[in-house]
Amino acid sequence: MSDPRPGAVLRGAVDLSALRSRAAAPASPTGHAPASGSPSLVFDVTDATFGQVLELSRTVPVVVDLWAEWCGPCKQLSPVLEKVVTELDGRLVLAKVDVDANPQLAQGFRAQSIPMVVALVAGQPVPLFTGAVPEEQVREVFGQLLQLAAQQGVTGVVPRGEGGEGGEAYASASEPDEPALPPLHQEAFDAIEAGDYARAVTAYEAALAENPRDDQARAGLGQVRLLDRVQHLDLQEARAAAAAAPRDVDAQFAVADLDLAGGHVDDAFERLLDLFAELPADERAPVRERLLELFGLVGDADARVIRARGRLASLLF
């Protein structure tokens, strides 16, 4: 039986399970001194110290920058990441991974090309982007990441500039002095924690009825709708049904939802795009709507979404 957890929706092609056992007694990471002068917010991490980073991500979102000394685009992107993280005043931290020196982390993140930037929220990986992207796009993606983290209760702050080495960031994360979540957001969060996704959907819908511009509620609604749809599905049964009826929209939706919830983002998109291409024009609208919903879950800046949008546009015109 599928059992996706909050945060699993955006896990993508990242598998860190083999590295979780390293959480026991890790050594302190080497300090990384950014130009900003806030070493507690930016630090190096190694295969041996990754367990600490996973634990830290339960308090504050951790952005992971996978880079190498020989990589020119990495040298362009890293200062941008450090600048934006520093300006966010400890709401995010940046962990830097030299893929040449840390092959197990490179393999765990499936870093086929670098620079590659992912995040960790409550111990769960969240793919962000690959390549040297503009500062404006970095800010947009980090804003979406903070929204996702808030929905999961990961709202800690690392005090700016504390400590002289990156390792001290692990001890300096604290809960921020921020106002409580709005009542409907809190109700949704409590429902998610309890696994009651239907109740969370109702709460987020009510929040959007009060404020249609509530982007945080809109993002949360999309995630919990997906989780609600897949929580009682059996993957093998769903795949068998989809294979037996390749033009059955509901059957294909079920497998696409399960694929996305399990991190197989490209598979989910390709399934629905193939279905869209096969259906008559007057039957395509629900498939397009589901695709747009799933695009919103992964994020418009994600390369997989950009590719899928391109194919969808080619099928429309």
120, 123, 126, 129: CA torsion to nearest 10: 30
* Buried b or exposed e, range 85-94, using 16+ CB within 10 angstroms: bbebebbbbb
Tokens of 53: 């980073």
Task: Please give the helix or strand (H or E) that residue 145 lies within, else none.
Answer: helix 135-151
Active site residue 71: yes
E-assigned strands of 82-133?
A: 93-98, 116-121, 124-130
CA–CA separation, 173 and 9 (whole Å): 26
Strand 62-67 to 93-98 pairing: parallel
Contact 54, 64 (CB under 8 A): no
Residue with tokens 């709202």: 155
CA–CA separation, 108 and 19 (whole Å): 7
CA–CA separation, 132 and 134 (whole Å): 7
Going by C-alpha positions, the residue among 112, 292, 310, 123 that lies closest to residue 218 is 292
Catalytic residue among 10, 14, 74, 117: 74
Going by C-alpha positions, the residue among 219, 213, 210 that lies closest to residue 189 is 219
CA–CA separation, 257 and 23 (whole Å): 32
Contact 63, 142 (CB under 8 A): yes
Catalytic residue among 71, 122, 203, 268: 71
Paired with 96 in beta bridges are 44, 65
Length in residues, the chain: 317
CA–CA separation, 1 and 4 (whole Å): 10
Catalytic residues: 71, 74
